[in-house]
Structure 1
Amino acid sequence: MHILIIGGGGVVGQKLARSLAARGQLRGKAIRKITLADIVDPAMVEAPFDVECVACDISNPASVAATLGADVDVIYLLAAIVSAHAEEDFDAGLSINLMGTLNVLQRARELQTKPVVVFTSSIAVYGGEVPDPILDHSFLNPQTSYGAQKAMGELLVNDFSRKGYIDGRGFRLPTISVRPGKPNRAASSFMSSILREPLNGQEAICPVSDDFPHFYLSPRKCVENLIRGAEIEAAELGQNRCMMMPGKMWTIRQMIDAMTAVAGPEPAKLIRFEAQPAIQEIVKGWRFDLRPEKALKLGLSADESFEDNIRYYLEDDKPAA
C-alpha cells in the first residue's frame, strides 16, 4: 500500500501521516510507503516503512505527474488555498483549489489504476438561501470563492468516480479547532487562535461576538475520520461520493467556557474582543445547523464535547514550557 498525501506539510497532513505510521495498515493492507507532498518539502515523519517528502505544485500538471505514479493506491488530496486567501486572491484560489484538484484527478485518470481519492472539501459549500437544517442532500450554495471552488471540486470527484477513473470520496470538513501552530489566512483561523494563544499564555483577539455559533471538530477526530473515510467501500457511498464530516456546533462563549473548565480561569482573561468587518463579512454567510447523517451511518464521528477538543490540544500539541 502506497499512500500519497498532497498537503502533507500541513497540520492535518502531518497528523494523518503520523497516525498512519503508527497504524501500519489501511484498507486491510500493510503500508509500504507514504509520500508527503506539498508546495515545499514537508517535514519528515518517522515510520517503520519508507517515507518520502517531495515538493509538488498541484497547479502545474507536470509537477503532479512527477509526484503521482502508477504505484500509488490511495491519494489524500488535502492541499488548498484557504478561505480568506482565496477571497483576496481569486486567481490563486482558482489555480490551486479548482485547477489543482482537476490536475490531480486527470493524472489519476491517465494512470488507469483507479486509486482511492480522499478529497477534503468544506462546509463553506453551504450558504445563502438554503433552508435549515442542512441535510446530506441540501443543495450547495457557497457564498465565497473558496466555497465555490470546493463545490466544483466535489462535482469533479463525483464525475470522475462515476466514470470509473477513481474511487473517490469527499468530506466537507467542519472548522478544525484547536489547531496547533500559527494562524493562517483562513477566515476561521481565529476559532483556534482565541484558544491556542491563551492556552500558551499569549493574548488573542476575537473578531466576532461571543454568541457566534459554528460547527467544529478536533484535529485528532478529523484524522480518525479521514482514515475511516478511505476504508469505506465504494458500494456504501452511493451515487453522491461527497458528504459532511461530523462535527458539533458551539458558540464562542461555549468554547471559552470549555477552555476554562479544563485549564482554569486565567487563559480566558487573555482574550480581547475586537470587531473585524472583513472577517465578519465572510463568516456571516456560513451555515450552522448541519446534520451529517450519512457520514455518521458510515462510521465517522464527532467529538463528544468541546472540553475534549481542549484536552486533545493540551495532550497532542501544546508546546513544552
Structure 2
Amino acid sequence: MPKHLLISIVLISFMVSSCSSQEDRFEKKIMDCAYLNMENGEKLKISIVEFETMLIEDGLLLNKKGESYIKLLENVSSFKKFKNVPSKKFEYEWNLDDTNCNSKSLEINLEEIDDSKFKSTSSLELSVFTKIHLKNSFNSYIKPKHHIELSSYADSLTTILDYTDFELDYYKLYVFKLINLLSLSNELKDKFFEGDFIPKYNLDNAFIINIDENNRIFIANDQVNPKELGVRVSEYLSSEKSKSKFILNHHKNSILLTKIVVKSVLEEEIKLHRENLAIDKHYTEFDLLNEQQKLEIEKTYPLIIIE
C-alpha cells in the first residue's frame, strides 16, 4: 500500500474516532436532553452560540475552539488583563436537575468510571472525581470576595479539564458564569480588564431606570412602582420602537429582587409589543411565526438592557 494512502487512512480514522468520542460523552447527552426538555431549551442553545460569538467579537476568545477557552482561563489565572469588558452578561439561568437531564435519569453510571483516566482525552466519560471537583470548585467561587478566588477557580478548571472538554456546551457554561463574575464589581474589573466599558449602542434617548439603596425605582426624578413603570415603558416603546434601549442603574446596597422585578417589567412590555405587532402584521401569535418573521419583529422591538 502506498505510504501516502496509509497516512490518509490513519488520519481519517483518527478524525472519525475523535468525533465519535465527543458524540458519546455523557455531557453532550445531558445537554442534548436539556435542549429538548427544558422550558426554552432551544433558547439556551441559541444563547450559548450568541454569547460565544460576542466573546470573540469583544476579544476575550480568539475563536470557538477548546484551546481558545483554555487560553482565556490561563489569562484569568495569571491576571493578564483583557482589553474589553464583555458587552453583556450571560443572562440565561439553568438547572439541569429540574429537567431529568442528568447522569442518573440518562442511566449513566458514573461510579464505574476509572478515576485514573479523568485527564485523558480518550476517555468517553468524565470521572466522578472531576465532576465533584468541578461542582465544589464552582460553589466555592460563585460569590467571590476577592480576585484571587476567581483566579484560583480558573486555574482549577484548566487543571481538571482540557481543550476537548471546552468544545462541549456543558463546560462552556462554567466559563460563561466565570466571565459574568469578572465584571461583578469595579474592583474586579480593574483586576481583569484594561479599560472602562464602552457601550456599542448610541445611548441618546435611552430609557434610564435607577434603583436606590432603599430599593425605590426612579425614572428621572419620579419614583414609580412596577405597574407605573410598565405604563411608562409601554409609551416609550411605542415612540422609539427599534431605537429603544434601557439603562438600568442600581445602588450597590439594593437587593437583587428589585432588579429582577424591573427587568421582568421590561421583558413583559417588550413581549406584549412584539405580540401585538405579530398579530397586526401577520395575523397570528409571535410564537407561531417563522424564524425570519420573528427576527423582523425583534428588530422592531429589541431587548437591550445595559447595566
- Please give the TM-score of this superposition, normalised by the length of structure 1: 0.23
Identify, as 1 or 2, the structure richer in strand. Answer: 1
The structure number with the bigger radius of gyration is 2
- Please give the TM-score of this superposition, normalised by the length of structure 2: 0.24
